[in-house]
Structure 1
Amino acid sequence: MPLYKTITENSQTTVKIWKIEESYSELLAPITLRSESALRLSGMKSELHQRGFLSVRHLLAAFGYTDADLFYDANGKPHLKDGKYISITHSFTFSAVIISENEVGIDIEKQREKIIKIASKFVEYEFEYLKDDDTDYINRLTVIWGAKESLYKLFATPGMLFKKHFFVIPFCMTDLETVAWIDYNGLKKRYTTKFLEFEGFTCAYALG
């Protein structure tokens, strides 16, 4: 399947989501990869990850970019050669790219019960408004994880901890957005975080 969804957040920021239904060979055929990218692709042990990697290149093409326009810094953060900000994510059968004139981060997560078992590793403040008997408990935990992962990708700074440095204020699933804060080494910044659900997945993205 080609492009699954396009979200035009504003004149400066666009999100594109891909549903990965094509085979590895179908995804690879129309794409030209730099030697570094081809080497990275061949080193991936899972075909699911390979297909996710290639689907991101299709998303780049949908934005008018090629693999040659993308590079990564020492912390693994992606950048575009034209100076625009980019963030990338893929999870199982979905991938997404956000491109903006401002700093951004994006994450897609599959909604799974296992997130309850690991909640204490990335949630502290948020437990003040979460109740584990809420019918949407898993969904809200997934939004919180996605919001924090988006901020982590936005900053890409070693030493940042989801539980200690990122805070998501109370929200309802019907809000489709919330506010997330970062408090790290004297830096305090506020970010609007949008989120949406589709086919058992949650996508969250932080807007700088």
Structure 2
Amino acid sequence: MPLYKTITPNSQTTVKIWKIEESYDDLMEGMVLKPETLKRVLGMKSELHQRGFLCVRKLLAEFGYDDTDLFYDENGKPHLKDGRQISITHSFIFAGVIVSDGIVGIDIEKQRDKITVIAHKFVDYEFDYLDKTSTCYIKKLTAIWCVKESLYKLFAVPGLSFKDCLLVIPFELKDEETKAWIDYKDKKYPYDIHFFEFEGFTCAYAVDG
């Protein structure tokens, strides 16, 4: 069972990451899914996406939940029936779930050069401290994207601008933590951020600051 990593940043919060090594058929074997969940899986065109989706259900089981415990609101944000907070991510060969008593968000992304092409769409203030000539530029951009994606997931306001409303203060990759804000309707919402790198991927998760 490829449970890759478990992190407990505080007594109320746990992160679990799964390395997706099983085949689609192996993951489906014995999997109990709600009819609407099964329809969603069967409708996915990419087998890698299907496997990532199913591995999230494997992670739910690691937390003691099953597919019937999970539901989504009108904005697509996942919730647990017992009232605990959850956020979900999967990217290529990794899937991640964070469960907490407080509001949380998580994202995993593969570190790829092409992120520089879209940087102008999600980076504004952060360009002030980024060095485009640095060997860490791609990794820092990926970390910023992961942070902003995790904030977007926890806030769950459709159309929230990554560039204008989400701010990540200066950080060093070795620190594996920083602060970030959501600036929305003249109010600022602060969050503690944790991030780390593994096997060419970056994971970031946000918890209430």
TM-score by length of 1: 0.99
Q: In the TM superposition, what is the alpha-carbon distance from 1:106 to its structure 2 partner?
A: 0.1
Partners of 1:30 and 1:65 lie apart in 2 by 15
Partners of 2:2 and 2:81 lie apart in 1 by 25
Counterpart of 2:158 in 1: which secondary structure? coil
Q: Which residue of 2 aligns with 1:170?
A: 170
Q: Which residue of 1 aligns with 2:43?
A: 43
- Structure 1 residues 114-164: Cα deviation after superposition (integer angstroms, max 9, x where no partner): 001110110000000001001100000000000000000001101310000
Counterpart of 1:40 in 2: which secondary structure? helix
Q: Which residue of 1 aligns with 2:23?
A: 23
Q: In the TM superposition, what is the alpha-carbon distance from 1:174 to its structure 2 partner?
A: 0.5
Partners of 2:10 and 2:206 lie apart in 1 by 13
Amino acid paired to 2:6: T
Q: Which residue of 2 aligns with 1:87?
A: 87
Partners of 1:124 and 1:91 lie apart in 2 by 25
Amino acid paired to 2:119: A
Q: Which residue of 2 aligns with 1:132?
A: 132
Q: Which residue of 2 aligns with 1:66?
A: 66
Q: In the TM superposition, what is the alpha-carbon distance from 1:31 to its structure 2 partner?
A: 1.5
- Tell whether 2:183 aligns with 1:183: yes
Runs of 4+ in 1 over 4 A off after TM superposition: none
Could you list the runs of 5+ residues in structure 2 that have no partner in the other structure? none
Partners of 1:106 and 1:73 lie apart in 2 by 17
- Structure 1 residues 35-59: Cα deviation after superposition (integer angstroms, max 9, x where no partner): 0100100110000000000000000
Counterpart of 1:144 in 2: which secondary structure? helix
Partners of 1:6 and 1:74 lie apart in 2 by 30
Amino acid paired to 2:21: E
Q: In the TM superposition, what is the alpha-carbon distance from 1:187 to its structure 2 partner?
A: 2.3
Partners of 1:44 and 1:57 lie apart in 2 by 16
- Tell whether 2:102 aligns with 1:111: no
Amino acid paired to 2:63: F
Q: CA RMSD in A?
A: 0.6
Count of residues paired in the alignment: 208
Amino acid paired to 1:76: G
Could you list the runs of 5+ residues in structure 1 that have no partner in the other structure? none
Percent identity over paired residues:
67
Q: Which residue of 1 aligns with 2:11?
A: 11
Q: In the TM superposition, what is the alpha-carbon distance from 1:186 to its structure 2 partner?
A: 2.0
Q: In the TM superposition, what is the alpha-carbon distance from 1:189 to its structure 2 partner?
A: 0.9
Counterpart of 1:163 in 2: which secondary structure? helix
